[in-house]
Amino acid sequence: MKRTIRRRATNLSRRRFLVGSAVAGGGLALGFRVPFGIEAAAAQGAAAGPEVNAWVVVKPDSTCVIRIARSEMGQGTLTGLAQLVAEELECDWNKVATESPTPGESLARKRVWGEMGTGGSRGIRTSEDYVRRGGAAARMMLLQAAANEWKVSVGELMVSDGVITHAASRRATTYGKVAAAAAKLPPPDPASIKLKDPKDWKIAGKPVKRLDTAPKLDGSLVYAIDVKLPGMQCAAIKACPVFGGKLVSFNESKIAGRPGFPRAVKVNDSTVAVVADTWWRAKSALDALPIVWNEGPGAAQSSATIAEHLKEGLTAPGAYAARSEGNALKAIEGAAKKVEAVYGTPFLAHATMEPMNCTARISADRAEVWVATQNGEASQASLSEETGLPLDRCEVYKHVLGGGFGRRGGAQDFVRQAAAIAKQFPGVPIKMIWSREEDMTHDFYRPISQCRLTAGIDDAGKLVGMHVRVSGQSINAFNNSPLAKDGRDDRQLQGYYEKPGDAQLGYTFPNLLIEYAMRNTHVPVGPWRGVNTNQNAVYMECFIDEVAKAAGADPVEFRRALMQKHPKHLAVLDAAAAKADWGKPLPAGVHRGVAQFMGYGSYSAAVAEVSVGKDGKVKVHRMVLALNCGHAVNPDQIAAQVEGSVAYGLSAALYGECTVENGRIAERNFDAYEIMRLAEMPKVETVIVPTYDFWGGVGEPTICVVAPAVLNAIFAATGKPVRSLPLKNQRIVQSAKA
């Protein structure tokens, strides 16, 4: 937006972007973006200040407004990134506010804030260096301004909490006072910027409170679904229930005369919408609208046909051999004992609490959307494509997401739809909201897969060979990515990699064969928090327990023997086992299970304590999770992510399943797609074991160890492995001795 780019020139424009510290509850100054059209809320905004550099604006009272380019969806990245900037800036943490540049501003300033995409647990680990440099450069400029004013060498100055002092002359000033002069200085030579040793951190690395909590406690935070604009109309939407089906016709005359002046419009070749003065009236009219679909060939598909398709891939020739070390098939063939199992995991919906929605206003020469997005630049690109307007005519106002989990990243279907509707009402803001039923049945689902694992053990109980064959759908193939060419899609084998640093398998097998058989379906798929580590950890970690049992070994000791060449994986396993008192007695009927895995550059392990009731009901009492994410920017928010990952992973393990009937998803709301509630939440203990020699992710890595740790505890309780999820479909029988 032009007025933001020229923000130094006018104080007035700044007021549109900041809501000051009047927000209830906290002692902290809280700044967050206020979208256009909510001028009343912005009127209480704070005064402007000079922009020292792209990352830092300093107000006269020394409040530092830190720019955050990544999206906040609950994962705490906003606070973590602000901590990293503030650490180098040496400002007063109690006077920090944040604001988010728009994709339009980023484009106009040649992407000065770097990547906006927020997924793959990258928010901090792939921006930590440049945001810290941004904070350090601003500090150097502020100090230089003071040195210039006092005509002393900058090396003689000290700074703490935004107060600059010159000991020799006993002078002191503040960031607020020198900011205007600092903003006129040239930025320092990048080579002269020296970042702090993390061991000296005072703000980063500490469990400071989140900056964005207060407006989430009184209903004042404006999510995208809450946007109000002058003259706004609302849209409800319905896409063909069968994936790949088409819209044939609809009969608008049947909704004429209903309240709210509803109008039915074609959105695209598979989707229809009704626009009215309120969303409820639009939705009611849409429910009453006769629609004819051509459901297409997908209507013949069901969960049973898809399961057969995947099963064929478990043994079919021509699979992609991603890892072949030694001769696993021969080693297993000649082994004293052979273990074999077939596992399976279902399609899953993201089910963010805030359903998909987007508000669009489109005129002949400008397009704007107000949206919850994990990737503002992808939203902007989608808006440009849908409207035919160049990027610099398209603006995106990012709102805090009511959940993302991968659903609001690359796809941007909601932006395209809202734009397609709004194009038909030039200049009129259209707020499109999906019903929960639409959200549940038109997701980009976690891909379905099956896995056949075979292992051989020698007479001494040592594993001699491992063969893993994953058969299932490919996200890359759905996205037409060249990474899925000829079925050679490594992403579907996430967590089984040989290469270190990202999602490396923590075991060394003397003979190993890992294969992928791509078996795609008509169901749209996409990344679901943790992506393929979730399924692959269940397969590997549960099977390892089966092999350990066949070898007569303790599950932790059996793993340790295979992990000696992977010390970081091993240290995390050991940390979880120690904290969970592995091997020590438990109350009668309670059993432990363990799992470890790597994803998103971080190492995770979990121990679950589980009991199985006489009725077969599984109760998870306690979970200990250990995580090495390298540097730990905010330990309390890391713990919050770990706790949340237990709920997300456990909910999927207990209940999560999207089934296909007549080509469509059968589970249409939370009554059928059940979500774990508070009563089932185990006590979670988070053990953070940072080694301070790398930057790993936090939002996703720990989910994948939750389900296998619980399944392994059930295996310990019942003696029978659980090989298919969710648990609600399994008959769990209490062991006689349990």
Partner 1 sequence: MATLNINGRVREVEAESDTPLLWVIREQVGLTGTKYGCGVAQCGACSVHINGEVQRSCAIPVGTLKATDRIVTIEGLSANSSHPVQKAWLALDVPQCGYCQSGQIMAAVALLGKNPQPSDKDIDDAMTNICRCGTYQRVRAAVHLAAGTRTAEVGRTTSEA
Inter-CA distances, 449 with 300, 339, 435, 520, 590, Å: 20, 20, 28, 10, 31
- In whole angstroms, the minimum distance from the beta carbon of 2 to partner 1 comes to 29
Q: Which residues of 350-370 are buried (b: 16+ CB within 10 A; e: fewer)?
A: bbbebbbbbbbbbeeeebbbb
Residue 549 CB, nearest approach to partner 1 (Å) = 31
Which residue type, as a one-letter code, is found at position 580? A
In the complex, minimum distance from the CB of residue 7 to partner 1, in angstroms, rounded to a whole number: 28
Backbone angles phi, psi at 598, to 5 degrees: -130, 135
**Pairing, β 463-472 against β 449-457:** antiparallel
- Min. distance of Cβ 685 from partner 1 in angstroms? 5
CA 714, chain centre distance (Å): 29
Residue 439 or 490 having the CB closest to partner 1: 439
Q: CA–CA separation, 328 vs 340, rounded Å?
A: 13
| Cβ at position 25, least distance to partner 1 in Å | 4
Handedness of CA 458, 461, 464, 467 (dihedral sign): positive
**C-alpha to C-alpha distance for 212 and 82, rounded to whole angstroms:** 11
Taking the CA atoms of residue 544, residue 545, residue 551 and residue 555 in that order, the dihedral angle to the nearest 10 degrees is 110
- Cα dist from 563 to 506, 508, 511, whole Å: 6, 6, 15
Closest distance of CB 354 from partner 1, Å: 5
Q: Least distance to partner 1 from the beta carbon of 635, Å?
A: 5
Closest CB to partner 1 among 189 and 693? Answer: 693
Owner of token pair 């099977």? 543
CB 707 within 8 A of CB 649: yes
Q: What are phi and psi of 104, to 5 degrees?
A: -65, -45
Residues 702, 354: Cα–Cα separation, whole Å: 23
**Strands 64-67 and 96-99, how do they pair?**
parallel
> Least distance from C-beta 33 to partner 1, angstroms?
15
Residue 192 beta carbon to partner 1: minimum distance, rounded to whole angstroms: 31
CB of 351 to partner 1, least distance (A): 6
For residue 33, list its beta bridge partners: none
14, 328, 334, 734 from 467: Cα distances, Å = 60, 6, 14, 31
